[in-house]
A and B are shown apart, each in its own frame.
Chain A
Amino acid sequence: MRRSLRALQFNSSWHTSCKTYAGSRQYRSTSAPVTAISALETIAKRNPALNAFASHITLAEIGSSETSDGPLKEWPIAVKANITTTLPSATSCASRALDTYTSPYQASVVDSLEGAGAVVVGKTNMDEFGMGSKNMFSMYGAAINPHTPSSGAKRKDMAESDHRTPGGSSGGSAAAVAAGMCRAALGSDTGGSVRLPAAWCGVVGFKPTFGRISRHGLVAYGSSLDIIGIITRNVADVQSVFSVAAVPDPLDMTCMSSPLRARIKALADSRSWITQVRGRSETESAPLAGIRVGIPEEYWVNELSVPALESWKAGASRLAALGCDVVSVALPHTPSALPAYYTLAWAEASSNLARYDGIRYGRRSTTPPDTRDLQNASQKYANTRSENFGAEVQRRILLGTYVMSSAASEHYFTPSQKIRRLIQEEFDRVFALPNALSMTNPLTPPTSRPPGVDVLLFPTATGAAPRLGDQEDSRVANYVNDVMTVPASLAGIPAISIPVGHTDGMPLGLQLAAQYGDDELLLRVACHL
């Protein structure tokens, strides 16, 4: 799958790609709505075609509610339909299992954003329970990418299947931001569900370090991988939302405590070469001098399209031009990430979705159960679960159940956990910053710059958004799209997708990733890309 690295040497050809880079800037110059009212106007205009929102508030509802004062005062934000809010039927996860369900409580992250003045304008379309990468497995129908290829027909003349997918599973959130229907959107990222749609919709998609943002109120898919992510037009807006959302939360025990946050910050601040960067003014010719960027050779896979490779080269050149030291690094376990990811995510999904039995809430089947084997309690739920879950969710639950069964777990689940550990260790080896979780000794600031890189740069997807009607050769091909995004998910490290370049009018995304807890540095570098 992997090609030789020789072609990836940083020769002059990388620097000549800067044109591609310059061309990408136009996607971020589109102005974002400044108020909830302007957002609702855009929603009224564009959502019928794009199907980005599953539900949204009305002008009347905005008028009657008062927003808090704060850094996000009057920001219109969209929230993915798997993050709890208390409006009726607003937390459906795009599933028939929950389409009648109303949450009695609101997610901690939504509380934080509203407390800072943000207005939730609506809940966005998604793949059912976050399972998919094209936003096609949804009870609301597919969401549509706001971008159209420059060579094809105009949107109104297009056949349904010719529309481009926004990507998934947070496709509604990315499309809403890209179409100006909100200023920022929350998504959830289990294996790339924020970064992939951000890349395909030409917006910024940030998956923070696992534990920076509380998951309390995020409907679980793969709990050890699920992270709430932020989608905006530019990195500055990500920073504004992130600083409000990334707070300790006693309601989520896996959310970082204040002492851990302080320890990570002290560790990150102990790097003299990074503090120098921070002191520099933005107008200097080489504002990022001292930062080392790694290009992981294993991400140059056969499936990588030429435009994606071009955008990768352009990004690398851009960072080099800003003063970064760009080097190649090896992450040899990367090819194992995809099977390990799917094994673990599906195993956790089969567990997390076991509660949707229609007994305490949600839709319950009216078909009487098969009476032949009522000793088996799960028979009583079989009709409800078969009717409520879509095909993809059922597929993942069944496979996840299998890989955890006593007969199979030692061949699938246990080795996948080991691969996950190897991938985490591998990232620890390439980054200069030690992993705060594996540090046992008290912090001693390094006297000289250690080997290792500060950030990694690689594409977010193998190409631009496919057509809705594109049939993959096999089901597996659908999953291959995630090959670029799952390693960071398995390691729990922060990663951000930035629009860099386009092909035939369709945007492309580049990813930056950093060490566990190094979100601030990641965003700082991302600002310049």
Chain B
Amino acid sequence: MRVLWSVRASARHYANNTFIANVLLHRRYYKPWGATIGLELHVQLAAAQKLFSAASAKWDDPPNTNVDFIDAGLPGSMPRLNPECVSLAARAILCLNGQVQPRSSFDRKHYFYSDQPLGYQITQQRHPIGRGGFIELSQADGIDYTKRVRIHQLQLEQDTAKSVHGVYPGYILTDLNRAGVALVEIVSEPDIETATEAVYFVRKMQTLLRHTGVSSCNMEDGSLRCDVNVSVYRGDEDRLSGTRCELKNLNSLKTIRGAIEAEVSRQIELISAGHRVKQETRGFDAHSGKTVLARSKETAPDYRYMPEPDLPAVHISKDWVEHIRSSLPELPEATLSRMTRQYGLLPEDVTTMLGEPGCITFFELAAKGRDPKRVAAWITSEIFGQLSYRAQRLNDSTLTVQQFTGLLDALASNAVTSGQAKLLLIEFMDGDKRTADELIQARGWEVMSDLGRLQDLATQLLGKHPKEAAEYKAGHKRRLNFFVAKIMAATKGQARPQDVSRVLKECLDEK
């Protein structure tokens, strides 16, 4: 069920859930519609410096603080290719099953805009660094069939500066921090047929590129941006026969889905009403749920592509490609099947850990010689809980594997309670550099293993609260919790709860 659109599938129907039912109902009477969708993703590379300058790539620093001469387009300045960006781009095309090209080169793409300091963008139009490859979508990604989406090419290019509107009325301010930050543009073949496939494609791309350290791929902060090309065709027509429209600036998965669905409906309605689709660039208005004209073909700029004379061609040897390939981490699908087999973990837990860069390595180091399920449970519940509370990434956290394993071992040997262990975790993630043992000692957090003292406490307590003790004896067994809580408070959590309740039970039953 991949061809989803029918003649009757107007925007009204398409927008709600009754749509698919409608399609199914009318499919046998009407020639079905198909959609042809291709994606262009702009991915900001996780390089420390810009693509062609030594300035820091931290575009969210105070405005205009990370600017080298070339980033401001100063006279006489020249671009210098950052090798880190080349290896990140190579990692990207390799993890997409594509090929690093032995020779690639740069071009200038010209247009005037205040966020474009040079008057052109340096990109790779004719000879991109990566070609070929594919992403395979399957059940593990959330669709109930398998689907291969081919990659057309992957090219290195510069990001633009950021235009800031509204600070001074009537002025557009320019922040050059982002000017020249490295991007790769990844262009898919038009293999995608539904909005759902497009969303899963983007999601899988995010997982792959995060996992290989290519990019943080966050649509919220713009380190992943998406343009979509959409056309429709009817029945047995050629898939590529429709006129395509480009949907620009789709900045969330929800927008991608909404825009594609709205655009497919718009094009079907146009053709059904006897009109023709015009080639144009459109945006998506989330309020109306419709795509809106941004630029017609007539007003499209002529980019006047020209070979970049300031940069020599990039020659890449087979040995270097193999070196990059061997430095790639195991790809998520392989990790998933290995982890479920090797550690007996649930696929959901592995998938959760895969979504957090660095987490699999963290887990595997911690799981060495320990119960993997317990380790995974601690990571996915406690550590992830803390990370989301702190809005932090694991790689940015101060928590070390040694601290974490120290905590787990102390817990396993009953040296601390699980409540204490959670407090330890918080201290580690607050930046405490000490080991688990050091911190336990410093806090005086030994488990109270002196059962005699617990017995004394229990006897005292029962004497003070005869009413509650009587109620317990009368069959209100839950009164036990009252006494447990009192003793836990008196021992400041140093007693193990199970010890406390055992001792209490003994005392109460004796009485």
Residues of A bordering B, CB below 8 Å? 82-84, 91, 93, 98, 101, 103-105, 107, 215-220, 222-224, 250-254, 347-348, 350-351, 353-355, 357, 359-361, 375-378, 380-381, 401, 404-406, 409, 413
User: B358 interface residue, CB < 8 Å from A?
Assistant: no
Across the two chains, which residue of chain A brings its CB closest to B52?
A253
Whether B120 lies near A216 (C-beta < 8 A) is no
Residues of B within 8 Å of A101, CB to CB, are 75
Cβ 8 A contact of A215, one of B74, B78, B112: B78
B317 → A minimal CB distance (Å): 15
Whether A354 lies near B119 (C-beta < 8 A) is yes
Residues of A within 8 Å of B72, CB to CB, are 360-361
The complex places the Cα of A404 from the Cα of B304 at a distance, in Å, of 5
The complex places the Cα of A502 from the Cα of B167 at a distance, in Å, of 66
The complex places the Cα of A105 from the Cα of B74 at a distance, in Å, of 10
Across the two chains, which residue of chain A brings its CB closest to B80?
A253
Whether A351 lies near B108 (C-beta < 8 A) is yes
Whether B309 lies near A378 (C-beta < 8 A) is no
User: B357 interface residue, CB < 8 Å from A?
Assistant: no
**Chain A to chain B: the 9 pairs with minimum beta-carbon distance, closest first:** A354-B119, A224-B309, A223-B309, A378-B112, A355-B73, A404-B304, A219-B75, A217-B76, A84-B76
Cβ 8 A contact of B69, one of A105, A359, A375, A377: A105
Whether A377 lies near B309 (C-beta < 8 A) is no
Residues of A within 8 Å of B118, CB to CB, are 354-355
The complex places the Cα of A377 from the Cα of B299 at a distance, in Å, of 12
Q: List 25 A-B contacts (CB under 8 A).
A: A83-B76, A84-B76, A91-B75, A105-B74, A105-B76, A216-B77, A220-B310, A223-B309, A253-B310, A253-B311, A254-B310, A254-B311, A351-B108, A351-B120, A354-B120, A355-B73, A355-B75, A357-B112, A360-B117, A361-B72, A361-B74, A377-B111, A377-B113, A404-B304, A406-B302
Whether A84 lies near B310 (C-beta < 8 A) is no
The complex places the Cα of A361 from the Cα of B73 at a distance, in Å, of 10
Whether A252 lies near B78 (C-beta < 8 A) is yes
B463 → A minimal CB distance (Å): 83
The contact string, 1 if C-beta is below 8 Å from chain A, for chain B 272-310, is 000000000000000000000000000100101110011
Residues of A within 8 Å of B461, CB to CB, are none
Residue picked from B76, B120, B309, most chain A C-beta under 10 Å: B76
Whether B76 lies near A405 (C-beta < 8 A) is no
User: B372 interface residue, CB < 8 Å from A?
Assistant: no
Cβ 8 A contact of A253, one of B79, B113, B302: B79
Whether A253 lies near B309 (C-beta < 8 A) is no
The complex places the Cα of A20 from the Cα of B268 at a distance, in Å, of 84
User: B114 interface residue, CB < 8 Å from A?
Assistant: yes
User: B496 interface residue, CB < 8 Å from A?
Assistant: no
Whether A84 lies near B75 (C-beta < 8 A) is yes
The complex places the Cα of A353 from the Cα of B120 at a distance, in Å, of 10
> Which residues in chain B, 73-95, are within 8 Å of chain A measured between CB atoms?
73-81
Residue picked from A222, A250, A355, A357, most chain B C-beta under 10 Å: A355
Whether B119 lies near A347 (C-beta < 8 A) is no
How many chain B residues sit at the interface, stated as a range, is 20 to 34
Cβ 8 A contact of B304, one of A223, A375, A381, A405: A405
Residues A104 and B74 in contact in the complex (CB < 8 Å), given A347-B306, A354-B118, A406-B304: yes
Residues of B within 8 Å of A224, CB to CB, are 309
Whether B76 lies near A216 (C-beta < 8 A) is yes
Whether B78 lies near A253 (C-beta < 8 A) is yes
Whether B79 lies near A98 (C-beta < 8 A) is no
Residues of A within 8 Å of B299, CB to CB, are 375-376
The contact string, 1 if C-beta is below 8 Å from chain A, for chain B 468-485, is 000000000000000000
Whether A253 lies near B76 (C-beta < 8 A) is no
The complex places the Cα of A254 from the Cα of B110 at a distance, in Å, of 22
Cβ 8 A contact of A359, one of B80, B120, B174, B305: B174
A527 → B minimal CB distance (Å): 32
A261 → B minimal CB distance (Å): 15
Whether A381 lies near B112 (C-beta < 8 A) is yes
Whether A354 lies near B312 (C-beta < 8 A) is no
Whether A401 lies near B73 (C-beta < 8 A) is no
The complex places the Cα of A224 from the Cα of B310 at a distance, in Å, of 7
The complex places the Cα of A215 from the Cα of B74 at a distance, in Å, of 14
The contact string, 1 if C-beta is below 8 Å from chain A, for chain B 173-190, is 010100000000000000
Whether B76 lies near A218 (C-beta < 8 A) is yes
Whether B112 lies near A103 (C-beta < 8 A) is no
Residues of B within 8 Å of A105, CB to CB, are 69, 74, 76
In addition to A222-B309, A404-B306, A406-B304, 20 A-B residue pairs with Cβ atoms within 8 Å of each other are: A82-B75, A82-B76, A91-B76, A101-B75, A104-B74, A218-B76, A220-B310, A252-B78, A253-B81, A254-B312, A348-B306, A355-B117, A359-B174, A361-B72, A375-B299, A376-B299, A377-B111, A380-B114, A381-B112, A401-B304
Residues A348 and B309 in contact in the complex (CB < 8 Å), given A215-B78, A354-B119: yes
A271 → B minimal CB distance (Å): 27
Residues of A within 8 Å of B112, CB to CB, are 354, 357, 377-378, 380-381
The complex places the Cα of A219 from the Cα of B78 at a distance, in Å, of 10
A156 → B minimal CB distance (Å): 38
Across the two chains, which residue of chain A brings its CB closest to B119?
A354
The contact string, 1 if C-beta is below 8 Å from chain A, for chain B 302-344, is 1011100111100000000000000000000000000000000
Residue picked from B73, B110, B174, B310, most chain A C-beta under 10 Å: B310
The complex places the Cα of A361 from the Cα of B67 at a distance, in Å, of 14
Across the two chains, which residue of chain B brings its CB closest to A211?
B312
A190 → B minimal CB distance (Å): 12
Residues of A within 8 Å of B311, CB to CB, are 253-254
The complex places the Cα of A152 from the Cα of B305 at a distance, in Å, of 52
Residues of A within 8 Å of B75, CB to CB, are 82, 84, 91, 93, 98, 101, 103, 219-220, 355
Residues of B within 8 Å of A93, CB to CB, are 75
Whether A360 lies near B76 (C-beta < 8 A) is no
Residues of B within 8 Å of A360, CB to CB, are 72-74, 117, 174, 176
Whether B306 lies near A351 (C-beta < 8 A) is yes
Residues of A within 8 Å of B310, CB to CB, are 220, 223, 252-254
A403 → B minimal CB distance (Å): 9
Whether A357 lies near B74 (C-beta < 8 A) is no
Residues of B within 8 Å of A405, CB to CB, are 302, 304
The complex places the Cα of A519 from the Cα of B448 at a distance, in Å, of 86
The complex places the Cα of A347 from the Cα of B306 at a distance, in Å, of 8
Across the two chains, which residue of chain B brings its CB closest to A401?
B304
B148 → A minimal CB distance (Å): 34
Across the two chains, which residue of chain A brings its CB closest to B67?
A360
Whether B80 lies near A355 (C-beta < 8 A) is no
The complex places the Cα of A413 from the Cα of B306 at a distance, in Å, of 9
Residue picked from B299, B304, B311, most chain A C-beta under 10 Å: B304
Whether A220 lies near B76 (C-beta < 8 A) is yes
Across the two chains, which residue of chain A brings its CB closest to B108?
A351
Across the two chains, which residue of chain B brings its CB closest to A92?
B75
Whether B76 lies near A409 (C-beta < 8 A) is no
Residues of A within 8 Å of B114, CB to CB, are 357, 359, 377, 380
Residues of B within 8 Å of A252, CB to CB, are 78, 310
A366 → B minimal CB distance (Å): 15
Across the two chains, which residue of chain B brings its CB closest to A405?
B302
Whether A351 lies near B81 (C-beta < 8 A) is no
The complex places the Cα of A409 from the Cα of B69 at a distance, in Å, of 31
B64 → A minimal CB distance (Å): 10
The complex places the Cα of A375 from the Cα of B293 at a distance, in Å, of 14
Across the two chains, which residue of chain A brings its CB closest to B115?
A377
Whether A357 lies near B119 (C-beta < 8 A) is yes
